[in-house]
Structure 1
């Protein structure tokens, strides 16, 4: 390891990791958060709650009630409700930690059920003080097995939450038939093939597996679920035919029109595709093309990430982006027996796969 790499590693270790916890209303985010806060895991956590409403975590866990935004929790956690701006809250936490007034090792941000996690993630890259002090670790999305299909059909934000995820936790699996769970899982996989999908019973979640995922670290391997790549086979395009009747709970609040809702393919606005090639990219052409794509489709590009094989560079380039921000850095050298190749995954809303595919092919040497 070079001295520059060692310094970078040390810098990352000293940064405060932050996890964004998202999921639609009623999926179980607050239950999971309570679990994290009440379990003894030896870590001091600052929780930023962006959830307005009666189901607040502080009712049961707070040691003291104050009018202040930041409150100490019983097991050495700190909780603050975002009444102001997230950037301001993070900077306030940073200042208070630097002064020794607060002591925490990581941050968890619980977003509101209706939120698109994109702007929350961008906060960590836009403000220099925050970018130098906090390291965005991962987005964890909770999906409710019982109402997940219905929610994804009706709520665009829920689709974005899935598209942004580094890890998807499926709650309430015990309330549905196995084939319904498998249909939901297949749908989530098509929307986001790079997130691991795990059914979760909140009483038994391994908290350690939710922290330090490094989903935003360029160095982590690009995991694309092999099931997604089997997408080229003809079965993958089949529509689901199952019945949603009676799946929506009493608090659902949806005006139901079940008559024509049951038997249709789920035309999700959020989807994913993978670009692969064994030919090298021309670096200048690629940079120009990606710059143009981001200008046009940036708001609809949720996450894109991959390994690039560039002409004239004997190591892989690690590349990723969120919306309109992207970056690349050198990775490991290609080994002598290794065939250099590009593997890129794009996850976004109504992305024109043909245009991306053709454009990228034109950037190859």
Structure 2
């Protein structure tokens, strides 16, 4: 089977610069073949001279890329794109500037056919340096776009002084402490630097810089762990939306922002250097997703499991979560657990208490 094609979800509020970036992708001589899916082809203003041929919703560009429109179901467009039997270096999907990317992200995590052929690689959010502070105050959608991102591109920096840019980065970190941040003018970012990063991949979650239905959990015995099968769980499932750190060794919860809570969204970081009980941890994480998944936008975590030589790595998007054992702890490395949550109305103390209850006796 061919290696799954990486998919980048591109989002950002109206005027942030998505059109500029998409035009670059579809016209530059970058040597890559991208499939770009946009909400409405006419919105991005591609020069007709760049179009080699068109077939319904598929427009071939003279640099080898293909642009597709979405007038109906995204899944149907993706199926049609894959049926063309062409090889792409990546698929890039632009979401509307007035919506959060959550539903698009979940599409790739629940459809078996798409999972076999496509792999969610990254969520990139473009930010308008001139207007972002206002948008964070008056637009819930803009806040969620920032919260979902793995990478944030602050665009139009030439119009903003350095002090204000630093304030923008601080505000973005409040909402999303683990996204990588770039500064650009007219979206002049190297495409290879932001596309194909693998930042959504579970194996990359352990590199936190700061810090549909699916099958039931698989139980895999891990020879390095003292808990046998219990320490080798691999998860990837969706819960029905209607179903309902510290160096002293103690668990700590840090509200990443004590005064700014844009749109009611905040990030909370939980940390401990004590080993956790995996059974309790998985039960707690599962309960969080079931009960609070609608309000928890994204989470990422690395966990130090009692009796296990490997890190347990976890992430979730709303009701969907996945967790698995990744690389081993290095000899002499300080072991720790860190779990970062981004969501609405997060109860810091309740989260801290639940996290502490997972500490191994």
For this structure pair, what is the TM-score category when the shorter chain's length is used for normalisation? 0.7 to 0.9
Distance 1:67 1:76, change over 3 A: closer
Does residue 1:25 correspond to 2:9, yes or no?
Answer: no
> 2: distance between equivalents of 1:211 and 1:326?
23
- Counterpart contact for 1:307–1:342, Cα < 8 Å: yes
- Alignment gaps of 5+ in structure 1: 1-10, 240-264
Match of 2:242 in 1: none
Relative to the length of structure 1, the TM-score reads 0.81
Equivalence for 2:167: 183
User: Which structure dedicates a bigger proportion of its chain to strand?
Assistant: 2
Q: Secondary structure at the match of 2:356?
A: helix
The answer to whether the 8 A contact 2:54-2:60 is kept is: no
Q: Among residues 207, 211, 215, which one is paired with 1:222 in the alignment?
A: 207
CA contact (8 A) 2:10 2:18 kept: yes
Deviation at 1:56, TM superposition (A): 2.2
Q: Residue 54 of structure 1: CA displacement?
A: 5.0
2:48, 2:151 → 1: CA distance?
27
Q: Residues 62 and 71 of structure 1 are in contact (CA less than 8 Å); yes or no, is this contact kept in structure 2?
A: no
- Measured in 1, the distance between the counterparts of 2:284 and 2:87 equals 45
Change in CA separation of 1:338 and 1:327 when aligned onto 2, cut-off 3 Å: same
The one of 338, 347, 352 equivalent to 1:343 is 338
User: For residues 146 and 187 of structure 2, what CA distance do their matches in structure 1 show?
Assistant: 23
Task: Give the length in aligned residue pairs.
Answer: 318
| 1:133-172: CA deviation from partner (whole Å, max 9, x where unpaired) | 1010000100101111111111101101000111111111
Q: Deviations over 1:4-58 (max 9, x none)?
A: xxxxxxx7x81100100100001101101111222222111111102x4853243
Asked whether 1:76 is paired with 2:64, we answer: yes
Q: Equivalents in 1 of 2:120, 2:257: separation in Å?
A: 35
Greater helix share, 1 or 2? Answer: 1
Match of 1:362? 357
Superposition deviation, residue 61 in structure 1: 5.7
Q: Does 1:199 align with 2:183?
A: yes
In structure 2, runs of 5+ residues without a counterpart are 212-245, 247-251
Equivalent runs, 1:160-309 vs 2, <5 Å: 160-202=144-186, 204-220=188-204, 221-225=206-210, 267-309=262-304
Instruction: Provide the alpha-carbon RMSD of the alignment.
Output: 2.3
Question: Could you tell me how far apart the structure 2 residues matched to 1:203 and 1:352 are?
Answer: 37
Asked whether the 8 Å contact 2:296–2:343 carries over to 1, the reply is yes
